[in-house]
Amino acid sequence: MKVKRVVVTGLGTINPLGLNVEDTWKELCAGKSGVELVTHINTDDLPVKIAGQVKGFDVLDYIDLKEAKRMDQYCHYAIASAVQAMENSGIQDNIDPDKLGVITGTGIGGMQTFESQTQIFLEKGPRRTSPLFIPMMISNIAAGQIAIRFSAKCINFNVTSACTSSANAIGEAYRGIKYGAADAVIAVGSEAAITRLTLAGFSIMRALSTRNDSPHTASRPFDKERDGFVLSEGAAALILEEYEHAKARGAHIYAELVGYGATCDAFHITMPAPGGEGGAHAMRNAIEDAGITPEDIQYINAHGTSTPLNDSSETAAIKSVFGDYAYTLKVNSSKSMIGHALGAAGALESMILIKSLQDQMIHPTINLTTPDPECDLDYNPEKTIPLEIEYGISNSFGFGGT
């Protein structure tokens, strides 16, 4: 069977730096941080009071009030980014609905709904629980809502694999098109988990930065003084399309997706495997799938969480795959400005990689001021720079060893 080529023809996003792709890219290139003190929940008794919050978003720009009230915030973000991407692609009236799919990725799903309904259940009893509790909370509901919005009747499911969720969603969409199951797929990552319970849970694990007095400098990937990640929220959507289908309708092609690798450390529920062997395995698989060599790649958008273990193990993984060439590569972390959007991170960072390819430049990794001997690659710490890029990689690593 002849495999198909897969290209990206549409982009959309809602995140702490911007409510669309171009504003987000502008802020990233300017080195702006979207991390601030949390404003919409009470953090007085929480050890962490900072996060990357979406600002200025009006759900009524995308969904009518009655329907919006029947959805969790993560679903709002997912639909908004999908609407942007579909409009950007111009594919809506140029595809058979039976060949248009939706694959979403979320690590937590309707956490705001879960937390608020649990409180109602405990305080007022089961009879006061909302009949919409389950359909608002379940993690695949964004995929269903997007499908309804665009009459997408092909493959439809959600991937939940912690912080690799939407990277896996994009990868599975790529495979669906590559092997002929769909002509196009709306691939979306979304998360809206800045809640008291989520902050408490990550805090008690000591996974989060506690730099409450300096939110903008809290996320500092690969820096020696990093002390944890900064929780974030938002969404990004990519329209993946079969190349000949896109070409026939005269679509603008942002990039071609040529390789995907997905592995598991099979080592520990939260810690990465020693030496980053799982991440190295995934990168090797993606490179092999693409039919290229490591030396064909110029740039890696790293997972780069700002946690001590992740950043050192990811650096080790890159050096394992690329050898001495690792020191020639450019690497950066978008989480230094956006924070860590959990299951949405892979889609957000894939979108950013595509913008880097399109504009032939990469944004800085901000807050990298104290070198770490274990993190000794070129993370572009100073400013946005021009870079000739033919191939780039987006890394995503998650709990459970994904």
pLDDT tens digits, one per residue of 141-153: 999 999 999 999 9
- Residue 245 annotated among the catalytic residues of the structure: no
Choice among 76, 245, 303, 363 that is catalytic: 303
pLDDT in tens, 231-268: 999 999 999 999 999 999 999 999 999 999 999 999 99
* Domain locations along the chain: 6-394
Question: 67: helix, coil or strand?
Answer: helix
Q: What does 372-392 look like in DSSP terms, one character per residue? A: BTTB-S----SS-EE---S-E
Choice among 245, 281, 340, 363 that is catalytic: 340
289: phi then psi, degrees, rounded to nearest 5: -60, -35
Q: Which amino acid is at 85?
A: A
pLDDT in tens, 202-220: 999 999 999 999 999 999 9
- Residue 303 annotated among the catalytic residues of the structure: yes
d(CA 374, CA 247): 45
Mean pLDDT of 148-159: 98
What CATH number does domain 6-394 carry, 3.40.50.2000, 3.40.47.10, 3.40.50.720, 3.40.50.300? 3.40.47.10
CB within 8 Å of 317: residues ≥ 6 apart:
275, 276, 277, 278, 279, 280, 283
- Residue 163 annotated among the catalytic residues of the structure: yes
Global pTM value: 0.98
- Regarding beta strands 392-394 and 299-301, do their DSSP bridges make them parallel or antiparallel, or are they unpaired? parallel
Q: What does 7-32 look like in DSSP terms, one character per residue? A: EEEEEEEEBTTBSSHHHHHHHHHTT-
pLDDT in tens, 54-78: 999 999 999 999 999 999 999 999 9
d(CA 122, CA 143): 30
Choice among 163, 281, 363, 375 that is catalytic: 163
| 402's tokens | 């994904």
Whether the per-residue pLDDT at 274 is higher than 90: the answer is: no
Question: Is 203 in contact with 212 (CB distance < 8 Å)?
Answer: no
